[in-house]
Chain A
Amino acid sequence: MSTVYQGEHLLPGQLGQFFIVLAFGSALFSTISYYFASTDNEKFTGNWGWMGRIGYFINTISVIGVGASLFYIVFNSYFEYYYAWEHSSRALPSYYIISSFWDGQEGSFWLWAFWQAVLGNILIWKAKSWEKPVMTVLSLAQTILTSFLLGIEIFGARIGSSPFILLRDAMGSAPIFSRPDYMSFIKDGNGLNPLLQNYWMVIHPPILFLGFASMVVPFAYAIAGLWRRRYDEWVQPAISYGLFAVMVLGTGVVMGSMWAYESLNFGGFWAWDPVENAAFIPWLTLVGAVHVLIVYKNTKHSYFTATFLTLISFVLVLYASFLTRSGVLDNTSVHSFTDLGMFWHLVVDVAVFFVIAVVLVVVRWKELPISKKEEETYSREFWMFVGAVFLGLSCLQLIVVTSIPVWNHMFKTNIAPPTNLVTLYNVFQAGFAVVVMLLAGVTQFLKYKKTDTTRFAITAIIYLVFSVIIAAGLVYVTGVYKLRFVFMLVMLGAVYTLLSNAKVLGDVFKGKTKLAGSAVAHIGFGLIMIGALIAAGTSKVISTNDTIDFGADFDKVSSSKENIMLYKNEPVKMGDYTVTYIGDSISSPNHYFKVDYKRYDASGKITEEFVLKPNSQNNPKMGLVSSPDTKHYLFHDLYSHISMAPQEAFNFGDESAGHGEGNDDANYNPPTEHDINVGDTIPFREGSIILISLNKEPHVQNIPLGPNDVAIGAILKIVSHGQVYSSEPVFMVKNGNVFDFARKVDDAGLKIRLTKITPNKDGTPKVQLMVYEQPENKKPYIVMRAIEFPYINFLWSGTVIMVIGFLISIFRRNKELKTV
């Protein structure tokens, strides 16, 4: 049975699917060709080599073709495609179309494949004699990566998931799809997850995936070195590419935490969520790898550790993608993952590269240049090696705990993560960080091979003493002393790293420029740790009437009443601030709640005033999604987010007067009657109403007045909580009938009617006003949480400095690199 469907655009999808198959095929072709090219001979003459290149070029073009087709489909809102329907909508601003690429797994696989294609071309251009073996590995990685996009059934099993699957194929069981004109019912797509509609989400995923993709390059060099028995030569280029990968992945991870801080509600920048850990784990091992690779280059020590860490880093990238994409984490992560039925496909991906690495190391074991001699105790290489080992251990702890669902899956157990998970991570990782940072400091005073012990001991100890003094001061001033002891040691370690690397930086200016990159990167790292420690450890929830510090373990549980109720236009004292919920502004689909912050000095004068606009998006398809707003100071941040707002708040836009008048009175207390003269004042709960004058010619929309009709407006001035409003209820006699037009002042919670006008004895008019006050619980309100994060800018600026340090190092290493 075939139905001819109307209104579909099948060409871009068919083109895209063609490119996917071509990308997969050409990558496989390239892998095979490069494999034979590598085993053939070392010179680049054989046809195999050219075929490998051509395969990779075709792959690159195909991958770009896939991206272009997908972009075209999303851009034109062709909702007959499941991907466009699922991840986009007509209302989506065009600059977020690119973000819809990483709303789904297929799009993020594409992004990864794209970067890997780019890196492959750079290697074809630059790698010279390394091209063939290195590109064999890269093509293999590209083959497997593109296989995730195939979406083709082979022997009854579906391989991969294509972004070009049609809606009617994805949801084939629905009766609507038996109609040829079903497209006329599909008006709009599901839309992009509101949390991804953030500028960080345009830039963060591409950087993160460039980081993931570039991890394959040092791995490929290590494999190539083992395979082609060039045990020594692979180290140099691996250092350069490793530095690049570490720099980019590190930037991507920090950008992710910045996004979390700017647009998520958990109140922080790092939550040890499995998704964060998954990106952080391979970063740690590759940082360790780069350090021991440098050790090997300088001293020929630590060969196995260097190889091991380089190889395991990429395997861990694949393991991370297994963790986040297979659905295995279902109960433990706040992120929502959809299992696309690729569990075993992802397992195979990890297994292939793991097995290749293990087999090569075992086969070549006897030939590896592992030094028999031990490092000197007072040598830089020894302590760099120890530092790398501790990075590995910190990584081990992250893996063991993050993988609890995997162990459950493997051993059929049913253990849950520890209930004090964050504390467990913080304490362990802090302990490892202390060791690593002390070593990052102390190794600056050591030389490769052999150091003069006395001189070393003196400088190292002098710097340590100064660090203890400075760290103690910082711990006291910032309140870190209220935390566990290990966090105070983190401060000490960070200060020690800072001081000793500052000394190296001083030497750089005296001419020893070689170490500039390392010194700057380490200084950046020290600042990151200080910023993270103080900001996370001493952050204060200020949205309470009595400010509470977070507990000694950063656990927010110990202080529970963290949310404050703000009625509209009623100022509330909160910490140093007086805050008022002053109103709303709607910029569809976002609803911004304007919260005014004021600070007074002792004499009651306003010293500071600003408005924060935390927002909520009441997304009909995805529910209520809130994002915070943060006031940034140089030395601290003030973060506020809406935890709750009444549903009515979202219907503000259409308050049409006269509609449902009777029901509307239910929103107010019973009215109070006031007979007053012009100039009189009526008090009400939250202020006063003054009758300024009467208007003989009020304007009432759409009601023309005849010659015998009368209309009078009462011009009122309303003062409430220091704000002045005006209003003009109208009394009217038309064709002998009496009407009155109530007026609302929502910001003061009032509705006022002008119900009667009678002359006084002296002829002046007496006016009867009915005043409706909103009861407290009918007033608009928000429930808000506000947190102060001290010194968080150290974290962000430290990241920038660290990246600069990496860049300097990459330039230096590239200069040393003489590729043949």
Chain B
Amino acid sequence: MCSQTALKPLMKKSSIIGIVVIAIAIAVIVATYGSASRYGSFADARSTSSEMHVIGHLDKSKELYYDAHKDPNYFSFFMKDKNGNELKVVYDKPEPEDFERSDQIVLVGRMENNEFHASTINMKCPSKYKNDKLDIPQANANKSSSI
């Protein structure tokens, strides 16, 4: 009978699914790490044309420039990266809320004409919602790190 001569499938369905799953899982991991960025310095950012993450802190002694009358979509400031190099950073949005309170900044962006153009600014302000200072003149209390 024909039915008995019918070809046996080359592979079991479960094996096919297994292979597809593994292939997709590998694709996910490769895509993630292929597109993963790294935390670098301004010097690293100079050497690449793609976007990268730069961690540093705001130089509060220099001007934070934002003039809504001239351009509501231009904000610039100076940031020191982890190696201590300082560079002007340009951001095409208004100054983020509470920017001056930040103690660490993570920028995502790229170098353009010796300025760092940030597309995203993430601020780390542990004190944003957790104000650790007692509102009392003589008490400069800092919550101990074990809390």
Contact of A776 among B51, B66, B69, B146 (CB under 8 A): B69
CA distance A393 to B36 in the complex (A): 19
Establish whether residues B136 and A185, one from each chain, have CB atoms under 8 Å apart when the complex forms. Answer: yes
A393 with B21: CB separation less than 8 A: yes
- Does residue A397 face the partner (Cβ distance < 8 Å to B)? yes
Nearest Cβ distance between residue A243 and chain B, in whole angstroms? 25
Q: Which of A214-222, A361-369, A619-627 contacts B (4 or more CB under 8 A)?
A: A619-627
Task: Assess A175 versus B139: contact at CB under 8 Å? Given A420-B35, A428-B31, A623-B101.
Answer: yes
Q: Which residue from chain A places its CB closest to the CB of B75 in the assembled complex? A: A644
Q: Tell me which residues across on chain A come within 8 A of B17, comparing CB atoms.
A: 386, 389
CB distance from A785 to the nearest CB of B (A): 9
Interface residues on B, range: 35 or more
For B36, B138, B144, the residue with the greatest tally of chain A CB atoms inside 10 Å of its CB is B36
Q: Is the CB of A176 within 8 A of B51?
A: no
A648 adjacent to chain B (CB < 8 Å): no
> Is A644 touching B38 in the complex (CB atoms < 8 A)?
no
Q: Does B140 contact A (CB under 8 A)?
A: yes
Q: Which of B12, B13, B66, B125 contacts A336 (CB 8 A)?
A: B125
> Judging by beta carbons under 8 Å apart, are B146 and A158 in contact?
yes
CB closest chain-A residue, reference B36: A415
Q: Can you report 19 A-B residue pairs in the complex whose CB atoms are below 8 A from each other?
A: A170-B147, A175-B138, A265-B97, A374-B13, A393-B28, A397-B32, A404-B36, A418-B37, A419-B35, A424-B35, A428-B28, A562-B93, A563-B94, A565-B69, A622-B128, A643-B94, A644-B66, A781-B69, A783-B68
The contact string, 1 if C-beta is below 8 Å from chain A, for chain B 108-123, is 1000000000010010
Question: In the bound complex, how far is the Cα of B21 from the Cα of A386, in angstroms?
Answer: 10
A193 proximity list for chain B (CB < 8 A): 129
Docked pose: A428 CA to B27 CA in angstroms: 10
Q: Which residues of B contact A397 (CB under 8 A)?
A: 28, 32
Q: Please state if A561 and B134 are interface contacts (CB–CB under 8 Å).
A: no
- Could you tell me which residues of chain B, from 11 to 61, have a CB within 8 Å of some CB in chain A? 12-14, 17, 21, 24-25, 28-29, 31-33, 35-39, 50-53, 55
Whether A382 contacts B13 by the Cβ 8 Å rule is: yes
The DSSP consensus for interface residues of chain B is loop
Bound complex: CA A190 to CA B127 (Å): 11
Once A334-B122, A414-B39, A623-B98 are accepted as A-B contacts, the answer to whether A565 and B130 lie under 8 Å apart by CB is no
Q: Name the distance in Å between A19's Cβ and chain B's nearest Cβ.
A: 21
Asked whether B143 is an interface residue with its Cβ less than 8 Å from the other chain, the reply is: yes
**Min distance, Cβ A335 to any Cβ of chain B, angstroms:** 9
Task: Evaluate whether A414 and B24 lie within 8 angstroms (CB atoms) in the complex, with A173-B144, A563-B72 already known.
Answer: no
Cβ-neighbour of A781 out of B68, B131, B143 (below 8 A): B68
Chain B residues closer than 8 Å to A341, beta-carbon distance: 145-147
Interface residue B87 (Cβ < 8 Å from any Cβ of A): no
Given known A416-B53, A626-B97, contact A330–B36 (CB-CB < 8 A) = no
- Chain A residues, CB < 8 A from B106: 331
Instruction: Write out the residue numbers on chain B whose beta carbons fall within 8 Å of the beta carbon of A623.
Output: 97-98, 101, 128
Other-chain contact of B12, A265, A374, A404, A419 (Cβ < 8 Å): A374
CB distance from B126 to the nearest CB of A (A): 7
Flag whether B1 is at the interface (Cβ < 8 A). no
Known contacts A386-B17, A400-B32, then 9 further A-B pairs from the complex at CB < 8 Å, ordered by chain A residue: A171-B142, A175-B138, A341-B146, A374-B13, A377-B13, A393-B24, A404-B32, A416-B37, A424-B35
Q: Is A122 an interface residue (CB 8 A)?
A: no
For residue A14, give the distance in angstroms from its CB to the closest CB of chain B: 20
Q: With A374-B12, A418-B37 as known contacts, state yes or no: A621 contacts B131, CB within 8 Å.
A: yes
Q: How far is the CB of B108 from chain A (nearest CB, A)?
A: 5
B residues near A340, Cβ cutoff 8 Å:
147
Contact across chains for A190 and B131 when beta carbons are under 8 A apart: yes
Q: Closest 7 A-B residue pairs measured CB to CB? A: A174-B141, A623-B98, A419-B51, A418-B35, A644-B94, A416-B53, A560-B92
Contact with B along A661-697 (1 / 0, CB 8 A): 0000000000000000000000000000000000000
Q: With A172-B144, A419-B52 given, is the CB distance from A643 to B24 under 8 Å?
A: no
Contact A86 B73 (CB under 8 A): no
Q: How far is the CB of A550 from chain B (nearest CB, A)?
A: 14
Chain A contact residues, CB within 8 Å of chain B: 82, 86, 103, 158, 161, 165, 170-176, 185-188, 190, 193, 265, 330-332, 334, 336, 338, 340-341, 374-375, 377, 382, 386, 389, 393, 396-397, 400-401, 404, 414-420, 424, 428, 557, 560-565, 621-626, 643-644, 646, 776-777, 781, 783
Q: A331-B55, A416-B52 are in contact. Are A644 and B147 (CB under 8 A)?
A: no
CB distance from B101 to the nearest CB of A (A): 6
A330 touching B144, Cβ below 8 Å: no
Q: Which residue of B lies closest to A172 (CB)?
A: B144
The docked-state distance in angstroms from the alpha carbon of A417 to that of B120 is 13
CB-CB contacts of B1-16 with A at 8 A, as 1s and 0s?
Answer: 0000000000011100
- Specify which chain A residues have a CB less than 8 angstroms from the CB of B29 in the assembled complex: 400
Residue of A nearest to B100 (CB): A623
Partner of A419 from the list B95, B108, B125, B135 (CB cut-off 8 Å) is B108
B32: A residues at CB distance < 8 A: 397, 400-401, 404, 418, 424
By a CB distance below 8 angstroms, the chain B residues around A172 are 144
- Chain A residue contacts of B128, Cβ below 8 A: 336, 622-623
Are A563 and B73 in contact (CB-based, < 8 A)? yes
**Residue of chain B at shortest CB distance from A424:** B35
Q: In the assembly, what is the distance between CA of A87 and CA of B124, in Å?
A: 20
> Chain B residues near A374 (CB, 8 Å)?
12-14
The reply to whether A414 and B38 form a contact with Cβ atoms under 8 Å apart is yes
A331-B55, A415-B38, A562-B93 as given contacts; A174 in contact with B140, CB under 8 Å:
yes
Q: When chains A and B are docked, how far (Å) is the Cα of A331 from the Cα of B124? A: 7
**Known contacts being A564-B72, A625-B97, A643-B93, is A171 close to B134, with CB within 8 Å?**
yes
| Chain B residue at smallest Cβ distance from A398 | B28
Pair B69/A336 contact, Cβ less than 8 Å: no
Give the distance in Å from the alpha carbon of A622 to the alpha carbon of B133 in the complex: 12
How far is it, in angstroms, between the C-alpha of A389 and the C-alpha of B101 when the chains are bound?
Answer: 46
From A265, A424, A781, name the one whose CB has the most chain B CB atoms within 10 angstroms: A424
Interchain CA distance A382-B13 in the complex, whole Å: 10
Return chain A residues, CB-CB under 8 Å to B12.
374
A415 to B33, CA, bound (A): 9
Specify which chain B residues have a CB less than 8 angstroms from the CB of A415 in the assembled complex: 33, 36-39
- Bound-state Cα–Cα, A332 to B69, Å: 33
Hey, which chain B residues are within 8 Å of A386, CB to CB?
17
Asked whether B73 lies within 8 Å of A561 as measured between CB atoms, the reply is yes
Q: Is the CB of B36 within 8 A of A418?
A: yes
Chain B residue, CB-CB nearest to A784: B72
